[in-house]
Amino acid sequence: MTAKYCRDGEAVVALNGKWVAHTHTLFAALAFFGALIVGAQLHYNKIVQNEYYGYPEEWFPSVSATIGDRYPERSVFQIFIAITSGPRFALVCLWYLLTARPDSTLPKIVAGTGIFRTLTCGGWTYVTSTDDHDWHDIFMISYLLATLPWTLGCLALSPANRRAVKYRKILAGLFFGSLVPLVYFFIQHKVHKVAGAYTKYAFFEWSLILFDVGFDAVTALDFEALELVVRDVKGVSRGQLKTTADSIVEKEKDKPIGQTFGQAFSWSAAIDAAADIYNGFVFWSNFTSLGVVVWYFPLWHMGISGYEVAMLSTISPLIMEIPSMRSLAVRNAHVLHFLELVGLAAFLVEEPAYRLFAVSFSVSMGCLAWSATFYSERFQAIRLESRISSFAIGLVASNVAKFAFQTNNPVWPIMNSENGGWNKFGLLLGVLAAIRSSRRPSVSGGDYYSPSGKKGSTILNGLGVGGIIFGMHSLLSDSSTMISWVWEGFPIRGPIQVPHGTWTIFAMSAGLLFGFFYPRLAGSWTVFGIGSLGAALLTRYSHWTGFYGGLILAFYLMAATPVLFTAAVHHSPVSTFGVAFVVWVFMALFHVWVVAYAFVPGGPLVRERTDWVMTTLMLLIGAGVFSTAETNSSSGYSKQQFLNPNNRIQRSYFVYALGILQLFSVAIAYLRFPTNDYVPYHKDDKVVTAGIWTVHFGLDNDMWSSEQRMISLMREAELDVVGLLESDTERIIMGNRDSTMLIAEELGMYVDYGPGPNKHTWGAALLSKFPILNSTHHLLPSPVGELAPAIHATLDMYGEMVDVVVFHSGQEEDPEDRRLQSEYLSKLMGSSPRPLILLSYLVTKPLEGNYNTYVSDVSGMRDIDFTDWDRWCEYILYKKLKRTGYARISRSSITDTELQVGKFVVGQPESKKQKRIPEELVPEGLRFPALFRGEGVRGHHYHVFDEPRYYK
C-alpha cells in the first residue's frame, strides 16, 4: 500500500493488486503448512492413522486429517484461512475489474464462481469432517467442482501476458492431471485396502493445494498494472489490452470451437435450450420405462402375456405415410410433445394394465413428435441442430438422473413418493418446458441445408438411425450397464459403478460434441471402424480392456447421432424414423430373446448370442454411414452450420449444459463413493445372519419399484449376508437399472453383481457386511433350459475365511439340467475346505431327488432344518459352522417368494446331535427380531411355523 496525491492535493491510498495476490498466497500457505508442521509435531501417529493402517504403513497425513481432526493444528489453519479470506475476495474483485468488457457475461460468471469458491472454502474449513461429515463433503465437492469453471474462465480471460498465461497453463494442467492418480490411489486405499496407498493419495492431495494456490498466485503478474484507488493506471479494465480469450477468438474465428464461444450470453436463449433438453429428458424417461412396464406382465405370467404388443407403440411415425397425417403431425408437433407428458403422469394410475396403456400412449406420441420435429426442421440448421442436441443431451440428463437416484429414473411410472420418486416435480418441469418450447416458431432463421443433391438410400439411413437408437438405449441409458458387462467379481480388477459411471457419461458427452464439431470425421468409415473395435472389445473382454472398449463405443454412438439424424431428415420420415423404430423393436426383442430363449418361440435359435446382437448393431449403423456419406456431402452440413452467429450462440448453451451435467455426475460420484467400513449387526457375538431371496427384478406385485421396501425388510431382519436371485436388471426390459448397488449402498454392504447381462442369466447377486476377499462366477451345465448362475465367494467373517455360494438352479421343466447342476454344485462345495453357506434356489422337495445330491457326503453340506418339509425352491445349507437359528419371513406384496434367514456362529464347531430349544434359552444377540411376530410389520411376519426356530 502506498500514499498518493490527486491534482487538487487531496491524499488517497492506493492498494497495489500485486500486493493482494502475494498476501493471499502467503496466508494460504501459512494456513495449510502451518497446520501440517504443528500436527506433525504434536499428533503425528494420530493424523497418519486411517481406518485400515497406521504408522509405519502410512507415514504422511492427508489434508483433511491435518486441518480438521486435532487441536491446535485445526485452529492454526482456521485462523490463517480466515485472514486469507479478505485478500481472496479482493483478488476476485480485482480480477473482475481487470477482465470486465462491455456486453460480456463471462467475466461476471467467473467472478461469481470465484466468490462461490471462497464461500464454500469457508464451509469445509469451519465445518470439519468430525463436526458433520455430510456437510463437510458437500462444501468440499462444491469447491472442487467450482474450480473447473474458475480455472478455465481465468485462462480464457487472461490478459496477453505471456509469462502469466504460461504459468497458468502449467499449473492448471498439473492440477487436473493430479486428479487421475489421486482418484486411483484413493480407490486403492478405499476399495482394495492397499497398505501405503493413502500416503501416496495424501501427496497428490497436498499437490492439489500447491497447484490451486499457485494458480491464483500468478495473478500477481497481471496485477502489477492495477492499483485500487480506484483508478486504472494503464487502461487495462477499459478493454485497451486484449485478453487471451480475445486473441483466441480472433485466431480461431473461422473454426467451429472458436465460433461457438465467441458470442454474448443470453439468459433467455439459455432457458430455451434448457427447455428443449428437458423435452429430450421426458422422451428418454418415457422410452426407457416402456420395457419395464411391459416386462411386468410376462414376468408374472411366466411366459408370453400378450401385453408385449405395447412395444409396437414406438412405430407411430409410420402413420405419417398418409400425407394428411404427416402434415398434421408436423404442424402440431408441439401438441404431441405436450401429450408425451401423459407418461410422467402415469404414476397416478394404480392399475398396472392401465398404467402400461398410459406409458404406451406417451411413447407413441413421443416417437411421432420427435420424428415430426426433426423432419420439420430439415432446412433450418439452427433449429435442427438444437433439436438433435436436445434429443441426445436428454439421454445424458436421464443417465445423470439415474446416477443421482442410484438406479431408478425419479419420474418413471414405477416410482412414487413412497419409493423415492419425484414424479410431481418432474411433471411440473415437463409442463413448463413444453410451454417454453411451444411459444417459439418452428422456423427461426439462420443457415439453410440444401434440399438438392444426392440423398443416399432411404432405407439404409433408417436402418442406421434405428441402430443408433437401440445402441443408445441398450448400452447408454444407464452409466453402469457396460460396467456390469465387464464385471467378474472380487478382487476388483476393473471399473465399479461408482465412481467409474462418470467415465461413461463423459465419453457420451465428448462423443456428442465431436459429432457436432467434426461431422465429416464422425461420419467417416475410419471412425466407424474404431467404434466397431470398441464394440468387439466390450463383447469379448472383461475388466478394464472390455470397459475401454465400451467407452470407445459410447463415444462413437453419440458422435454418429448428429450425423445420421441430419442425413435422415432429408428423406421421408416414414422411411427413416418409421423404419428406425421398427428396427428398434426388432433389436429390443433380439436382445431379450438371447436370454429368454426358454420362454419364447424360436428362442433356441439365438440362445446366448449377444455377439450376434452386437454385430447386427454395428452392421445397422454401417448401413447408415454408407448412406449418410452421400447425403451430408451434398447438404453442406459440415460447412454452412458455422456461418451464422445465431447458430454458434445456440450451440454454446448445449455445450454448457453438457459441462454442467458432467460436473453433477462427478459430484454424485463423490457423494456416493463406497465407504467400505461396514459392520455386522451382532459383531460382539460373532453371529452371521444369512438370507436368500428371489426378488423378481425389483418390481413388486403392483408394478412399483420395490428396492426401498426390500431395503427396509433386510435392515429389520438384520441380514449380514444375503443372496438375491432374479437380480440382473441391466437390460431394456428391466430398465437398465442396478438395483443391487442401490440396496448395497443403503444397507452398507459390499456387493458382487454376479454374472453380467452378457452372460445370459436372470441374475444372482451377493451382498455382504463382511469383506469379500474373492469371488468366482459360474454358469452351471444347462444343455436344454435357462442358464443357472452361481457365485462362489470367500468372506472374511470376524477374521475367519468362510465361503458363501449363491445359486439359482434351472426350471422345473428341465430335469436333466437340474440333475447336472446338482452334481456340479455338489462337487464345487465339496472342494472347499472352509466353512460354507449355500444360499440357493434348488427346485426340489426336501429329502427327495436332487436334494440328496446337494446334501451328501460329496458336498459335506447339511440342511439348516431337514424337518421343514414345506419347501420347493429356496434352501439354506451349511457346513463347519454352528447353526443357531432359522426363520421364514413372508414377502407381503414385494415379490412371489419369501425371505429365508439362518443364523450361524463363526469359529465354533457344531455337534452332530442338535436339538431345538425355546427362544427363552437363546442369548439376546442370537435371537431374530421380535417385530415380525404375530401380524408383523407392513405384511411381513414369521410364517409356516409362525416363529423362528432355534438350535443347540
**Rounded-to-integer distance, Cα 487 and Cα 755, Å:** 8
pLDDT at 445: 42
**Rounded-to-integer distance, Cα 594 and Cα 219, Å:** 61
What is the enclosing helix (H) or strand (E) of 180? helix 162-190
CB 484 within 8 A of CB 755: no
Task: Please give the share of the chain, as a percent, with pLDDT higher than 70.
Answer: 88
- Summarised one tens digit per residue, pLDDT across range 396-454 is 999 999 999 999 999 999 999 999 999 999 999 999 999 998 875 444 444 444 444 45
pLDDT at 637: 46
Give the residue-averaged pLDDT of 322-342.
91
Q: If you count them, how many residues does the chain have?
A: 952
Beta pairing partners, 841 = 808, 874
pLDDT at 419: 92
Candidate from 10-19, 458-467, 577-586 with smallest mean pLDDT: 10-19
CB 110 within 8 A of CB 150: yes
pLDDT at 135: 76
Candidate from 139-148, 354-363, 484-493 with smallest mean pLDDT: 139-148
CB 848 within 8 A of CB 889: no
Q: In sequence order, which ranges of 332-414 are alpha helices (DSSP H)?
A: 333-340, 352-376, 381-404
CB 294 within 8 A of CB 589: no
Position 615 pLDDT exceeds 80: yes
- Residue 639's pLDDT band, with cuts at 50, 70 and 90, is very low
Contacts 24+ apart (CB under 8 A), 74-80: 74/35, 74/128, 76/31, 76/34, 76/35, 76/38, 77/31, 77/32, 77/34, 77/35, 77/125, 78/31, 78/125, 78/126, 79/31, 80/27, 80/28, 80/30, 80/31, 80/34
Higher pLDDT pick, 603 / 846: 846
Position 570 pLDDT exceeds 80: yes
Give the residue-averaged pLDDT of 47-73.
77
pLDDT at 9: 43
Averaged confidence pLDDT in the chain: 85
**Rounded-to-integer distance, Cα 708 and Cα 665, Å:** 23
Cell 408441439 sits on residue? 334
- Residue 72's pLDDT band, with cuts at 50, 70 and 90, is confident
pLDDT at 251: 57
Sign, CA dihedral 850-853-855-856, equals positive
pLDDT at 643: 41
Domain boundaries, the chain: 2-251, 261-265+273-672, 683-951
Give the residue-averaged pLDDT of 902-928.
87
Q: Kind of pairing, strands 916-917 and 949-951?
A: antiparallel
Cell of 876: 439354506
Q: In sequence order, which ranges of 242-351 are alpha helices (DSSP H)?
A: 244-251, 256-261, 267-301, 323-331, 333-340
CB 685 within 8 A of CB 287: no
Cell of 566: 441430419
Q: Which CATH class is domain 261-265+273-672?
A: mainly alpha
Candidate from 56-65, 326-335, 682-691, 797-806 with smallest mean pLDDT: 56-65
What pTM was estimated for this model as a whole? 0.83
Residue type, 606: V
Helix (H, G, I), strand (E, B) or coil at 808: strand
pLDDT at 440: 57
Q: Kind of pairing, strands 874-879 and 836-841?
A: antiparallel
Angstrom CA distances, 905 to 684, 685, 809, 952, stand at 11, 8, 27, 11
Candidate from 188-192, 194-198, 386-390, 445-449 with smallest mean pLDDT: 445-449
Active site residue 808: yes
Closest CA to 126 of 78, 71, 85: 78
- Summarised one tens digit per residue, pLDDT across range 581-606 is 999 999 999 999 999 988 888 888 99
Helix (H, G, I), strand (E, B) or coil at 907: coil
pLDDT at 319: 93
Candidate from 39-53, 63-77, 745-759 with smallest mean pLDDT: 63-77
- Summarised one tens digit per residue, pLDDT across range 696-733 is 999 999 999 999 999 999 999 999 999 999 999 999 99
Vertex 74 angle, CA 70 and 79, to 5° = 160
What is the enclosing helix (H) or strand (E) of 549? helix 543-568
**Rounded-to-integer distance, Cα 703 and Cα 713, Å:** 18
Using a 10 angstrom Cβ sphere, with 0-12 exposed, 13-18 middle and 19 or more buried, the burial of residue 356 is: buried
Beta pairing partners, 725 = 694, 764
pLDDT at 841: 94
Higher pLDDT pick, 887 / 225: 887
DSSP-derived letter for residue 231 is B
pLDDT at 237: 47
Cell of 101: 468488457
Position 89 pLDDT exceeds 50: yes
Extract the runs of DSSP E, i.e. beta strands, from 582-627.
none
Q: What is the three-state SS of 626-651? A: HHHHHHHHHHCHHHHCCCCHHHHHHH
pLDDT at 228: 62
Q: Which of 696, 777, 808, 941 is catalytic?
A: 808
**Rounded-to-integer distance, Cα 424 and Cα 742, Å:** 22
Candidate from 126-135, 283-292, 691-700, 756-765 with smallest mean pLDDT: 126-135
Determine the topology of domain 683-951 in CATH: Deoxyribonuclease I; Chain A (3.60.10)
